[in-house]
C-alpha cells in the first residue's frame, strides 16, 4: 500500500496533490475558497482566462469588443463539448451568468458579478453582456466565471449538480469523498488537447508538516502553503523542488485613522518609519516575498512603481512619536490565527523600539472579519491584512479597503474617493492609471496602511514535476508536465 518513490518513475499516470483542506463545493458558482478553486477549475472552462504572464486571454470566448462603455460582445468557440458529449452553447454561457447573479441562488460570489445587469444570446456563437455603468474590471472578474451546462444543472438541480459536477474542462470528476479526497480523470475529448495526467487526486491534509512529509515520501507529488522557514531543511533533498511565485496579495498593516493614537497622522507616519520591512523580508521570510511600496502588486492593473513608501528610519519615528505626545501609547492590534504571527511579533517589537506599545487582540477568523468590518472601535487601531480580490485590479483592492462608506474603510478622504470613483467608471487604462497614482500618493501621505510585502505562494513538488505557478494562485493541472 506504499506509494513509494519507486512508483513515481517512468510514465506518470496519476498526479497526487495535497491541499490544506477539502473542496467545499464542486459547484463553481458557490464557494470559491482556494481549495475548491484549485480543484473545480480543472473541471470547467471559463469565458476568458489568464496566461502565465497574467494577461487576460481567450478561452471559451475567442474575442470581445465593447460596443459602448456598458455593453460588451463576446464571440464564442463552437467546438467545445461538455464531458457528457453535449455542445457548449451561448445559452450555457448566459445561463451561467444568470445563475451566479440570481440573488435567490445566494452565491457567495454574487458581489463580484452584480455589475452585470443583462446577458443575452445575440448570435449562434455570440453573447452580449451589459453592466450597470462602465465597469473596467469586468473581464478580470469573468476570468473566474466557469461555464456550466444548463441542461445538466436544470435536470439534476443545484444540490445534485454539486455532487456530480460536469463541465467542459480538461478533467472530469470521478469521485469525491468529502473531507478526504477528490479524484479527477482526464477528459478524453478535451478541445485544447491531451491532458498531462490520466488521473489527478486532491487530498485534504490540514497540517503543513504532514503535507511536507507526504511529498518527501512520494505519497503526494505537490503541495502548497509552505512558509519560507519550511523550505530551509528541504534544500538538500534531491527529489524535491520548491516552487514559489509572488502572488497578487499584499501583506500590509491596516492603520485606523478614526480612533485612538493612530488618529494622529504623525503616529501613523512614525509607524511607517519604524518598520524595517527589508529586515522582515530577509530574516523572517528568507527573501521569498518582494517588498511592496503601494497597496497593490505588479500582478494587478493599477500598480504604479513611482510612489515610494516611507523609508525605515527609527530615529525619525521616535521623534514623531514624541512630537505627537504618544510615547508609550497603547496600540491594540486585531489579529487572527490566519495571519503570520511572526510578522506581527516583529512589528510589535519594532514599534516597541520607537515607544509604541502594541498589544494583540487575538480572535478567530470569523470574528476578525466581523470586527474588522465593524465600527472603528471594533476594528481597533491596527491589523494585518493579506488582501486578494482575485481580479488583479486596483479597483478590487483599494476601493473596498479605503473608499469612504466601504465596510472595511475606516479611512475617509474626499480626494481619494474622487480618484477611485473616477477610475471605476472609465475603460481608458491610461486615465485609470493616473487616478490610481493619485490615490496611492494620498494613501502614502496619509499613511492609511503600511504595505509590507508582496506575498509569495510556496509550493513543494517532486523534482520531476514541471510547472510555473501563477500570481492568482490558480492550479491548472493542464499546465503541468511530468519530466522524469
Residues 124-163 that bind other proteins (CB under 8 A): 158-159, 162-163
HSE-CB at 78 with a 13 A cutoff on CA atoms is 5
Stretch that binds other proteins, among 125-133, 190-198, 238-246, 360-368 (CB under 8 A): 360-368
373 binds other proteins (CB under 8 A): yes
List all residues 6 or more positions away from 309 whose beta carbon is below 8 Å from its beta carbon. Answer: 272, 293, 294, 444, 450, 451
236 binds other proteins (CB under 8 A): no
CA angle at 38 for the pair 111 and 29, rounded to the nearest 5°? 35
d(CA 142, CA 137): 9
Exposed / middle / buried, residue 147 (Cβ in 10 Å: 0-12, 13-18, 19+): buried
Per DSSP, 86 falls in state P
Q: Which of residues 94-113 bind other proteins (CB under 8 A)?
A: 103-104, 106, 108-112
**Which position among 168, 297, 344, 454 is part of the footprint of other proteins (CB under 8 A)?**
344
- The grid coordinates listed for 206 are 490540514
**Which position among 87, 370, 463, 481 is part of the footprint of other proteins (CB under 8 A)?**
370
Q: 292 phi and psi, to 5 degrees? A: -115, 135
Stretch that binds other proteins, among 58-66, 183-191, 316-324, 341-349 (CB under 8 A): 341-349
Least distance from other proteins to the Cβ atom of residue 81, Å: 27
**Which position among 219, 435, 437, 438 is part of the footprint of other proteins (CB under 8 A)?**
219
- Alpha-carbon distances, residue 218 vs 7, 416, 463 (angstroms): 9, 52, 11
Least distance from other proteins to the Cβ atom of residue 157, Å: 11
Of the candidates 146, 122, 144, 119, the residue with the CA atom closest to the CA atom of residue 130: 119
415 binds other proteins (CB under 8 A): no
Stretch that binds other proteins, among 146-154, 395-403, 445-453, 472-480 (CB under 8 A): 395-403
345 binds other proteins (CB under 8 A): yes
**Which position among 71, 283, 311, 481 is part of the footprint of other proteins (CB under 8 A)?**
283
Per DSSP, 5 falls in state G
Least distance from other proteins to the Cβ atom of residue 286, Å: 10
Least distance from other proteins to the Cβ atom of residue 126, Å: 29
* Structural contact between residues 268 and 461, judged by C-beta atoms closer than 8 angstroms: no
Per DSSP, 309 falls in state P
367 binds other proteins (CB under 8 A): yes
Q: Which of residues 263-282 bind other proteins (CB under 8 A)?
A: 279-280
Amino acid at each position: 500500500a506504499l506509494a513509494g518513490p519507486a512508483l513515481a518513475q517512468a510514465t506518470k499516470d496519476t498526479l497526487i496533490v495535497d491541499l490544506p483542506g477539502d473542496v467545499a463545493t464542486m459547484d463553481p458558482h458557490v464557494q470559491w475558497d482556494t481549495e475548491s478553486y484549485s480543484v473545480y477549475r480543472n473541471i470547467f472552462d471559463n469565458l476568458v482566462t489568464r496566461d502565465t504572464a497574467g494577461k487576460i486571454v481567450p478561452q471559451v470566448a475567442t474575442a470581445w469588443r465593447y460596443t459602448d462603455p456598458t455593453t460588451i460582445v463576446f464571440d464564442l468557440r463552437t467546438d467545445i463539448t461538455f464531458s457528457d458529449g453535449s455542445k457548449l452553447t451561448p445559452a450555457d454561457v448566459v445561463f451561467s451568468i444568470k445563475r451566479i447573479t440570481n440573488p435567490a441562488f445566494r452565491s457567495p460570489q454574487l458581489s463580484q458579478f452584480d455589475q452585470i445587469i443583462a446577458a443575452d444570446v445575440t448570435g449562434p456563437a455570440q453573447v452580449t453582456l451589459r453592466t450597470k455603468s462602465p465597469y473596467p474590471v469586468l473581464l478580470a472578474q469573468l476570468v473566474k466565471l466557469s461555464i456550466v451546462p444548463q441542461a445538466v444543472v436544470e435536470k439534476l438541480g443545484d444540490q445534485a449538480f454539486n455532487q456530480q459536477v460536469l463541465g467542459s474542462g480538461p478533467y472530469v470528476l470521478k469521485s469525491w469523498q468529502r473531507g478526504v479526497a477528490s479524484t479527477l480523470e482526464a477528459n478524453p475529448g478535451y478541445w485544447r488537447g491531451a491532458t498531462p495526467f490520466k488521473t489527478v487526486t486532491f487530498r485534504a491534509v490540514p497540517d503543513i508538516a504532514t503535507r511536507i512529509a507526504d511529498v518527501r515520501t512520494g505519497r503526494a507529488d505537490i503541495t502548497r502553503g509552505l512558509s519560507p522557514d519550511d523550505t530551509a531543511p528541504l534544500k538538500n533533498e534531491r527529489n524535491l523542488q520548491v516552487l514559489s511565485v509572488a502572488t497578487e496579495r499584499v501583506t500590509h498593516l491596516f492603520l485606523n485613522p478614526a480612533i485612538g493614537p493612530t488618529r494622529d497622522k504623525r503616529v501613523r507616519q512614525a509607524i511607517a518609519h519604524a518598520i524595517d520591512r527589508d529586515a522582515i523580508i530577509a530574516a523572517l521570510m528568507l527573501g521569498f516575498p518582494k517588498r511592496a511600496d503601494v497597496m497593490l502588486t505588479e500582478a494587478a492593473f493599477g500598480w504604479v512603481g513611482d510612489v515610494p513608501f516611507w523609508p525605515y528610519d527609527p530615529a525619525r519615528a521616535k521623534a514623531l512619536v514624541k512630537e505627537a505626545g504618544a510615547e508609550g501609547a497603547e496600540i491594540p492590534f486585531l489579529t487572527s490565527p490566519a495571519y503570520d504571527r511572526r510578522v506581527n511579533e516583529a512589528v510589535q517589537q519594532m514599534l516597541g523600539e520607537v515607544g509604541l506599545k502594541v498589544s494583540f487582540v487575538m480572535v478567530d477568523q470569523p470574528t476578525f472579519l466581523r470586527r474588522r468590518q465593524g465600527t472603528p472601535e471594533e476594528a481597533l487601531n491596527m491589523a494585518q491584512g493579506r488582501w486578494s480580490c482575485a481580479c488583479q485590479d486596483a479597483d478590487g483592492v483599494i476601493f473596498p479597503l479605503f473608499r469612504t462608506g466601504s465596510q472595511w474603510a475606516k479611512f475617509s478622504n474626499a480626494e481619494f474617493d474622487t480618484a477611485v470613483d473616477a477610475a471605476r467608471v472609465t475603460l481608458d487604462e491610461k486615465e485609470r492609471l493616473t487616478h490610481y497614482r493619485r490615490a496611492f500618493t494620498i494613501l502614502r501621505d496619509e499613511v492609511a496602511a503600511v504595505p509590507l510585502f508582496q506575498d509569495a505562494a510556496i509550493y513543494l513538488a517532486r523534482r520531476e514535476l514541471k510547472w510555473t505557478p501563477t500570481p492568482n494562485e490558480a492550479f491548472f493541472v493542464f499546465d503541468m508536465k511530468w519530466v522524469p
